Amino acid sequence: MIICDRMKVAMLGWEFPPLSLGGLGIYTKYLTKALSEKGIDIDFFMPKTRTKISREWLNIIQIPYSRYLSCRKTEGLYPYYGVKDELERMTLDLNKMSDSKLDRYNFLCAKEILKRYKKETYDLIHLQAWYGLKAGLIVKEKTNIPLVTTLHTSEYALRKGKKLHKKIIEIEKLSLELSDKVIIPSKKLKQILLKHYRIDKNKLEIVYDGVNTGLCEKVQKKKGSQVLFLGRLEPYKGCEFFLKAAKKVLEKNKNVKFMVVGWGKYLKSYVKLTKKLGIEKSVEFIGSVPHEKVSTFYSQSDVYVLPTVFDAFGITVLEAMKCGTPVIVSKTAGVSEVVKNCIKVDYWDVNKIARKILEVLENEKLRNSLIKKAKKEVEKFTWDKIAERIIKVYDSLT
């Protein structure tokens, strides 16, 4: 176990539970807790909303950059929605500020960090995703302290065959060029970044994600078979393929129920798809669920399916394995390169996904084997070990 001297880190985030749209908020919560337990002092900077957030293991500073974007409802969540519109107007000139609220957030964030830096020196800056890049670069330029960026995904991965957001590409490029180290969650993401950007591969550090060891609770399963999809309702997560596979399953077994947990702008589209496929009576859309309650849905389900087009990692796979739920996951998910005790498929092969769902539901021996081995395998993905890897990255710079 690594216990370091009290290192002080300015961490720039974008979401933190209960204000968490996806895996980024969950990742940040458990990583900061594990780092704190190993002697890292963290000032965590994020956008201010009407929801006050505090945790005993770190100091959360909410930057009041815009009341307009604040929201009480966790499913509204924005500063988060509309961020790409704000991004369009943002300038990456460190000496200029546009009328973009995202730009304003970065300037105010940098100002607050520099103000605090005068009183107690930060050892380094750590960016969680690219939202605070400009703030990080301003602070780095004025203080010369190391800059670490964690890239949780890439625009090139999420927009396969679709129009790329040029400003995000520009920001990713700057992150890779100007950060002292870039932490990424999988070899798959590393390959994408090396393919599209000119970067020293030694700057990239792969640190796989972890899973909360106290996540799961025992719940009584409902009668009948239940299949779960849990994730953001965006095209790259593969809910469309989940629903098309559900159609194939129901042609063989009408008694299977399908549950979709998650929220996103494509919700209405997927509800319409169930009607088009004629399976609306067998599919239930739950909507957004607080992370502390997701274990109930894993535990009640007989199989978890994530046919993602691309996922740099995929924490939900580890969560399902931890809760004793057999997993079917696409080969394009980063997590598939490090876990063995799950079924791996091509995300587009809805016929095979359907066959594998039926196989897990009907073959008790296979189901029990997956559950037993997966629970054992997932024990190595602790946040304690992830924190040790992160601290090694910190130590290499300080």
Strand partners, 35: none
Rounded to whole angstroms, what are the CA distances from 208 to 133, 184, 187? 22, 8, 9
Strand partners, 196: none
pLDDT, residue 398, reads 87
Tell whether omega for the bond before 18 is within 30 degrees of 0, i.e. cis.
yes
In DSSP notation, 45-70 reads EEE--SS---BTTBEEEEE---STT-
Tokens of 12: 């720039």
Domains located in the chain, CATH noted: 7-210+382-397 (3.40.50.2000), 226-380 (3.40.50.2000)
332-345: buried (b, 16+ CB within 10 Å) or exposed (e) per residue?
bbbbbebbebbbbb
Rounded to whole angstroms, what are the CA distances from 359 to 231, 306, 319, 325, 326? 23, 16, 22, 14, 11
Contact 270, 239 (CB under 8 A): yes
Q: Which pTM was predicted?
A: 0.92
pLDDT, residue 82, reads 66
pLDDT, residue 380, reads 92
Which residue blocks in 345-382 are alpha helix, DSSP H? Answer: 350-362, 364-377
Q: Is 73 helix (H, G, I), strand (E, B) or coil?
A: coil
Contact 96, 70 (CB under 8 A): no
Q: Is 271 helix (H, G, I), strand (E, B) or coil?
A: helix
Strand partners, 184: 206
pLDDT, residue 101, reads 83
Token look-up 């799961």 returns 216
pLDDT, residue 53, reads 86
pLDDT, residue 76, reads 40
pLDDT, residue 135, reads 96
Rounded to whole angstroms, what are the CA distances from 143 to 109, 137, 232, 240? 15, 10, 38, 48
> In tens digits, what is the pLDDT along the chain, a chain of 398 residues?
454 568 999 999 988 887 776 788 889 999 999 999 999 999 999 988 777 788 999 999 998 876 544 444 444 445 555 677 788 888 999 999 988 888 988 999 999 999 999 988 899 999 998 889 999 999 999 999 999 999 999 999 887 657 888 999 999 999 999 999 999 999 999 999 999 998 899 999 999 999 987 777 666 677 789 999 999 899 999 999 999 999 999 999 999 999 999 988 899 999 999 999 999 999 999 998 888 889 999 999 999 999 999 999 999 999 999 999 999 999 999 999 999 999 999 999 999 999 999 999 999 999 999 999 999 999 999 999 999 999 999 999 98
